[in-house]
A and B are shown apart, each in its own frame.
Chain A
Amino acid sequence: MTIRINGRKVELPDDVQTIHNLLNYYDLEDRIVIVEINQQITLKEQYSSLTLSDGDIVELIHFVGGG
């Protein structure tokens, strides 16, 4: 499916279905992240159940500690 992440069009492999899959795909599964789908912020408990759909607009922010 094709979605838009942080303003860019991204073609995802077929096995990326849920938010959890998406975080794995970007190597962010162990990080603290904030995910918004179509302007709806999602809670951590929903990551495994919420599935992505073609054309979704995703904002994905992860925390880092440097400075």
Chain B
Amino acid sequence: MTRRYSRQELFAPIGKEGQVKLQNAKVLIIGAGALGSASAEMLARAGIGNITIVDRDYVEWSNLQRQQLYTEEDAKKKLPKAIAAKMRLQQINSEIIINSLIADINGLNIEELIKGKSVIVDATDNFETRMVINDAAVKQNIPFIFAACVGSYGLTFPVIPGESPCLHCLLHHLPAQGMTCDTAGVISPAIQIVAGYQVTSVLKLLTGHKLTASVQSFDVWKNENAEINVSRLKKANCQTCGTEPAYPYLTFEYQTKTAVLCGRDAVQIRPGASRTLSLTDLSLSLRGLVSDLIVNPYLLSCSFENHRIVLFQDGRALIHGTNEPSKARSIYNRIIS
């Protein structure tokens, strides 16, 4: 037991005292894809006493190139990521508590989930869920470490309620169109680096070190780095962390609504926050990923992994070939972040 963490305890900024703090911490990881796998493995090895990992998806072959917790066996069995992750993490460290939950996070279920947690690790694949986490984290005064990755590029930013700007201060609205790992690809070193920054922030925070309000980014292929202190971007009238917070992403109106279309084996997705998509730009980024692509001024239609998808300019979509809302949302976010 004492030997297990000896190298980490020898590291002066953590020490034996810091290790005790890590053992007493409760970390919530939202998402068990590439970032979530990488963070969870590091945090489990580091001896975080209580880790909860949440995910809505199951393991697929295209995950294995970078999602380090999973094996071919998991993909063959189509195991839910939350289950496969828990099994692997428990093999890595049997002395800590690992909770896992198969769930689709939204503004109505997040508050219960984050209660009592020391810190939240963002490992999601879309902006909407991140804004939901941001609202709930600020409301309950729990630090939240944002991170995202596409291609060979990644960025991270710690949201410290009451100190730093929040994600809502930096992103006034949901981006009109974002590249996703499914449309633009991603290489595993980029994941490892961004998760490395993220986990370092978690270790610092839990052992009592101060984090600066900086957004850090890198492109590992181009060998570029950037860091910007964004303290100045904290908005006094921010709807999330300002003087009169409304936490809009936790309200019913802002939730993405799904409706199973009876008898049609299809799910309709209607985003809560309004957005205007550029269907032409989107069609360019989808080339190579989808087939039967048709774009007209009103809608985009395509086939993706046996699902026909019809997407309207306001972000509304019909996902055919499933009657499971969480599956439909997962497909949706693989196309639009």
A residues apposed to B, CB below 8 Å:
5-8, 30-32, 34, 36, 41, 59-67
Contacts and interface: CB of A to CB of B under 8 A. Distances in A.
Given A32-B171, A61-B215, A67 B228 contact: no
Nearest to B130: A65
Contacts of A31: 175
A14 B190 CA distance: 33
Given A64-B179, A67-B34, 12 more contacts: A7-B224, A32-B175, A34-B228, A60-B226, A61-B228, A62-B217, A63-B170, A64-B148, A66-B186, A67-B122, A67-B123, A67-B149
Interface string B179-192: 11100101000000
Interface stretch (B6-14, B106-114, B229-237): B229-237
Given A30-B176, A30-B278, A65 B225 contact: no
A41 B126 CA distance: 26
Contacts, number: 91
Contacts of A30: 176-177, 278, 281
B176 A64 contact: no
Interface residues of B, number: 46
A8 to B, nearest CB: 6
B150 A64 contact: yes
A67 B124 contact: yes
A54 B228 CA distance: 21
Given A6-B226, A31-B175, A61-B155, A66 B215 contact: no
Contacts of A67: 31, 33-36, 122-125, 147-149, 181
B337 interface: yes
A65 B175 contact: yes
A7 B224 CA distance: 7
Interface in B219-273: 219, 222, 224-230, 232-233
Contacts of A34: 170, 215, 228, 230, 233
B127 interface: yes
Most buried by B among A32, A62, A65, A66: A66
Contacts of A66: 125, 148-150, 178-181, 184, 186, 337
A64 B178 contact: yes
B336 to A, nearest CB: 8
